[in-house]
Structure 1
Amino acid sequence: MVTQLPADFLAFSKQWEGFRADAYPDPGSRDGTPWTIGYGQTVIDGVPVKKGDTITEARATQLLQQRHNTLAARALSVVRMPLSPYQLATLVSFADNVGWGGGGKIGFSNSTLLKKLNSGDYSAVPGELAKWKYNDGKVMEGLINRRAAEAGLWVKGSFVSSAPVDAKPGNPLTELMTPERMAAGGGLLGGAAAIASGNGPVQYAMAALMVIAAITIAIVVIRKATR
């Protein structure tokens, strides 16, 4: 089981969280709570962020890294399947955005995504990610885009197997149809279907791009198998 996040994940997370030096209210919440600062920070040293708070970029980066490390450890404690570094990063990004869950709240720890992953259904993750596009009951374009980026992060790394495999000659096509390629193609198609279920040109365009990516993977596999 992987225990370390990829080096480029911090930049990925910063891109989607965005830095704000001054505290601001949640734009998707009816009452504006929770207040947020830095890179998506809502609590600092156990104290909720409040109106008027400020922060430096360096301190915000430190707090973001602390969140990543904490969520990575928690994710590894509940995920029963092997993960690549980028798959772990995907789960950390997702949990950081939607919350951990529990105590009557829905989040990563009690999500269908986690249940399907723990059953070994890696390819279901992108489609499950795409379902989390609501904030306070409203569809948010920013969440649609973030879920699509997380789906791409999920298929970026290589699948990690925990069991040894004996080396032996095999069918080239069979060897090319590895778990990570199957998960990539199936995951992209699943994510495209989930995204396309929404309405609007942005969803349709993103779904089309994901379908094209899945077709490209299939063409590469076939070409390599026939050489």
Structure 2
Amino acid sequence: MKLVSIAAVASALAHASAYLITGDTVNCRAGPGTNYEVKRTYSKGIDVTITCQTPGTSVEGHSIWDKTSDGCYVSDLYVETGSDGYVVGKCGTTACVAPKSNQATVDLIAEFEGFEPTIYTDAAGYPTVGYGHLCKDSTCSDLKYSIPLSQADGKKLLADDMTRFERCITAMTHATVNLNQYGALISWSFNMGCGAAETSSLIQRLNNGEDVDTVLSEELPRWVYAGGQVLPGLVRRRNAEIALARTPMDDTALPAC
């Protein structure tokens, strides 16, 4: 637990939710995570007023982030609250609803994932069906579609599986992107994982306000390696994602709220 000085306790009592910054130069970000844009910085020893707290990216084991009266977020690690837990109320829980990917995105992912209408065991030993859907048991009893799968049902199942990637991309991306650019991000994260996406320079550059098409064209081709070797299949997939992103589209996907 972080220790709090007598002076800090007195200050907290006097100012209700004012707490000392303990880090030398602490970034206050647009959201509760290290991938968000830096809005301002705080110097060590100044008081900040915490309006609410919320879960976010873990920083040295601390996953609580403090929203300050300046409207930005700092890791609670760098704020002398006297506790590793919540000391004020939690921030509102209303979350952005992740947009559904368009059919062009579903089709792109389907093309590169490959289709199997019947249950098979993947390389890791998991029962799998359709476009790489991992089943809960050997009979795929969790499916709402009959086996053997039709390709149409397989794509519906794929669209269901894409939901968690839509959620994570929506949560971490604060740039304005259209549905086709969004689709490129979904395909990339579906292939590489949400964790890799969140810590990537691609997302960082988008959140810093760089041109979306430029960022995708420069960053996606970097994601073509496996075991230190360039894989032709990944090269083709990244090129297809870039082509999708460049296809004109008026419908905005992000920000979702």
TM-score bucket (shorter structure): 0.5 to 0.7
- Give the paired residue count: 146
Are positions 1:40 and 2:132 aligned together? yes
Q: Deviations over 1:7-53 (max 9, x none)?
A: 3322222112110234254xxxxxx4365542122x334x6999xxx
Query: Which amino acid is 1:108 matched to?
Result: A
The 8 Å contact of residues 126 and 151 in structure 1, kept in 2 or not, is answered as: yes
Where does residue 115 of structure 1 map in the other structure? Answer: 204
- Structure 2 stretches lacking a partner, 5+ long: 1-95, 141-146
| Structure having the higher Rg | 2
Query: TM-score, structure 1 length as denominator?
Result: 0.55
Distance 1:37 1:154 in 2: 28
Q: What is the rounded CA distance, in whole Å, between the counterparts of 1:33 and 1:68 in structure 2?
A: 20
Q: Distance in 2 between matches of 1:95 and 1:127?
A: 16
Residues 117-126 or 57-66, more deviating = 57-66
- The question of whether the paired residues in 1 share the 8 Å contact of 2:99 and 2:253 is answered with no
> 2:166 is matched with which residue?
72
Partner of 1:135 in structure 2? 226
> What code does the residue aligned with 2:176 have?
P
**Conserved 8 A contact 1:130-1:147:** yes
Q: 1:100 aligns with which of 180, 194, 199?
A: 194
Deviation, 1:126, is 1.8
Cα contact 1:80–1:118 (8 A) shared by 2: yes
**Partner Cα separation in structure 1 for residue 148 and residue 202 of structure 2:** 34
Matched, 1:11 2:107: yes
Structure-2 change in CA distance of 1:62 and 1:34 (3 Å): farther
Query: Does the aligned pair in 2 maintain the 1:23–1:49 contact within 8 Å?
Result: no
Which residue identity is paired with 1:13?
Answer: I
Structure 2 counterpart of 1:56, one-letter code = L
Counting helix residues as a fraction of each chain, which structure ranks higher? Answer: 1
Structure 1 126/156 Cα, relative in aligned 2: closer, same or farther at 3 Å? same
- Alpha-carbon distance in structure 2 between the residues aligned to 1:82 and 1:89: 13
Q: What one-letter code is carried by the residue in structure 2 that aligns with 1:23?
A: Y
Is 1:126 aligned to 2:126, yes or no?
A: no
Residues 159-174 of structure 1: matches in 2 within 5 Å? 160=252
Counterparts of 1:82 and 1:6, CA distance in 2: 17
SS in 2 for 1:23: strand
Match of 1:145 in 2: 236
Unaligned runs of 5+ in 1: 26-31, 102-106, 163-227
* Mapped partners of 1:86, 1:120: distance in 2: 18
Corresponding residue for residue 23 of structure 1 = 120
Structure 1 position 140, deviation (Å): 0.9
**Pairwise CA distance, 1:117:** 1.1
Q: Letter of the aligned partner of 2:156 in structure 1?
A: Q
1:87–1:157 CA contact under 8 A, matched in 2 = no
Counterpart of 1:9, as a letter, is T
RMSD, aligned CA? 3.1
Aligned-residue offset at 1:161: 11
Q: 1:151 to 1:48 in 2, by over 3 A?
A: farther
Query: Does the aligned pair in 1 maintain the 2:166–2:186 contact within 8 Å?
Result: yes
Q: Kindly, what percent of the aligned residue pairs are identical? A: 23
> What are the superposed Cα offsets for residues 49-96 of structure 1, whole Å, 9 maximum, x if unpaired?
99xxx8623553333111223211221111011110111111110000
**In the alignment, residue 119 of structure 1 is paired with which amino acid?**
N
Amino acid at match of 1:40: G
TM (norm. structure 2) is: 0.49
Preserved CA contact (<8 Å) 1:38 1:56: yes
